[in-house]
């Protein structure tokens, strides 16, 4: 009986400790730039397999999409981390004195590409000057197209508006169009039965990072440990998604976005590995950021007329404080064995 009375306070203490541990989970919101897809797999993996929880985080992933603009939500404090497409958006924020900063870069190669029909004499990036029609979105025209004109001699008279459909491209063999490495090339193969020529902007010299993660500058200053835990857990999530058991993450992705098929996920994986776990990530870890790369891209953006030299200090747009530590490298080594 006495032992029983002694055990009760111990049990109560254990339960209280568990409750405290549960309360101690820091709640953060990650807003993505599009609907759930394999390219976001590392984040869904860290959520599904408990990695975020192990790092003391309760993460809510809010999808982006065609009718969703998550960008203003970050400086407004409605989200804590924001996924954006490339470094131009981060540069714009610094130029406009919006207090945000990039803390990790998960695509070492920007997935932006141009696709062409095979057998039409367009086999390398420089051949695009011969394209009769270049189908580009407005965003593409005011960003990387300006660099393409400067670096490769493209001409504005080639451009026609891209309507986010493959119909224009498939109807005209002499046309080329913008593409995302894990999207349009696979869609062409599925719908039309042929593999298009895929010309990577990154391979041609467009040196921006892709799928960068931004947060508020004040969060970096006041809660650096929280930012570190989110970045490290996300990096581990990427390794586990690319090389480990991703079933739970895929199930979550497909629940969030039923348009995603298992076949699409399988075909996306090797493409994602070629864009995420390459370059500096091979030695420094997924999410790596290089000062030299940032300087190079800023120089190219200025040369293309996207900014004026001296408009802003490009180094204020990012920090290497939370990356380049080799986090997760052992997971790739284990997967290789």
Shared domain check, 235 and 103: yes
**Which domain, by its residues, includes 132?**
112-200
Shared domain check, 74 and 212: yes
Shared domain check, 239 and 311: yes
| Residue 66 pLDDT level (bands cut at 50, 70, 90) | confident
Domain CATH for 157: 3.40.190.120
pLDDT digits (tens, 9 = 90+) for 19-64: 434 447 999 999 999 999 999 999 999 999 999 999 999 999 999 8
Percentages (nearest 5) of helix, strand, coil residues in the chain: 50, 20, 35
Domain CATH for 8: 3.40.190.10
Shared domain check, 89 and 33: yes
Q: pTM of the prediction?
A: 0.90
pLDDT digits (tens, 9 = 90+) for 85-139: 999 999 999 999 999 999 999 999 999 999 999 999 999 999 999 999 999 999 9
Shared domain check, 218 and 69: yes
Shared domain check, 96 and 219: yes
Q: Which of 166, 200, 234 is the last residue of a domain?
A: 200
Shared domain check, 194 and 327: no
Shared domain check, 166 and 100: no
Phi, psi of 158 (to 5 degrees): -75, -25
Q: Following DSSP, what letter does each residue of 206-217 receive, concatenated?
A: ----EEEEEEEH
Shared domain check, 138 and 102: no
Shared domain check, 102 and 117: no
List Cβ neighbours of 96 (8 Å cut-off, separation of 6 or more): none
Q: Which of 180, 200, 220 is the last residue of a domain?
A: 200
Q: Which of 143, 170, 200 is the last residue of a domain?
A: 200
Are the CB atoms for 243 and 335 separated by under 8 Å? Answer: yes
Shared domain check, 187 and 212: no
Shared domain check, 228 and 191: no
- The domain tally of the chain equals 2
Model pLDDT, residue 69: 83
Phi, psi of 211 (to 5 degrees): 45, 60
Which of 13-22, 152-161, 254-263 comes out lowest in average pLDDT?
A: 13-22
């Amino acid at each position: 009986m006495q032992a029983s009375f002694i055990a009760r306070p111990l049990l109560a203490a254990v339960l209280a400790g568990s409750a405290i541990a549960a309360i101690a989970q820091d709640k953060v919101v990650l807003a993505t730039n599009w609907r759930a897809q394999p390219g976001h797999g590392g984040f869904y993996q860290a959520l599904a397999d408990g990695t975020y929880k192990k790092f003391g985080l309760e993460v809510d992933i809010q999808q982006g999409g065609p009718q969703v603009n998550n960008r203003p939500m970050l400086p407004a404090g409605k989200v804590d981390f924001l996924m954006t497409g490339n470094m131009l958006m981060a540069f714009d924020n610094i130029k406009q004195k919006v207090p945000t900063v990039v803390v990790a870069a998960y695509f070492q190669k920007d997935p932006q590409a141009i696709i062409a029909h095979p057998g039409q004499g367009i086999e390398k990036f420089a051949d695009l000057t011969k394209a009769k029609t270049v189908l580009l979105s407005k965003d593409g025209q005011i960003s990387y197209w300006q660099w393409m004109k400067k670096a490769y001699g493209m001409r504005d008279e080639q451009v026609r508006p891209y309507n986010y459909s493959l119909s224009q491209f498939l109807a005209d063999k002499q046309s080329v169009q913008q593409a995302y490495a894990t999207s349009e090339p696979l869609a062409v193969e599925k719908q039309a039965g042929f593999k298009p020529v895929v010309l990577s902007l990154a391979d041609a010299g467009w040196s921006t990072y892709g799928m960068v993660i931004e947060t508020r500058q004040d969060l970096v200053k006041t809660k650096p440990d929280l930012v570190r835990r989110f970045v490290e857990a996300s990096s581990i999530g990427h390794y586990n998604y690319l090389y480990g058991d991703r079933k739970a993450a895929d199930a979550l992705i497909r629940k969030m976005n039923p348009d995603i098929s298992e076949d699409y996920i399988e075909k996306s994986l090797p493409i994602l590995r070629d864009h995420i776990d390459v370059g500096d990530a091979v030695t420094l870890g997924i999410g790596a950021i290089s000062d030299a790369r940032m300087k190079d891209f800023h120089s190219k953006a200025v040369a293309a007329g996207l900014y004026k030299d001296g408009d802003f200090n490009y180094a204020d747009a990012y920090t290497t404080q939370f990356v380049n530590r080799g986090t997760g490298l052992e997971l790739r080594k284990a997967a290789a064995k």
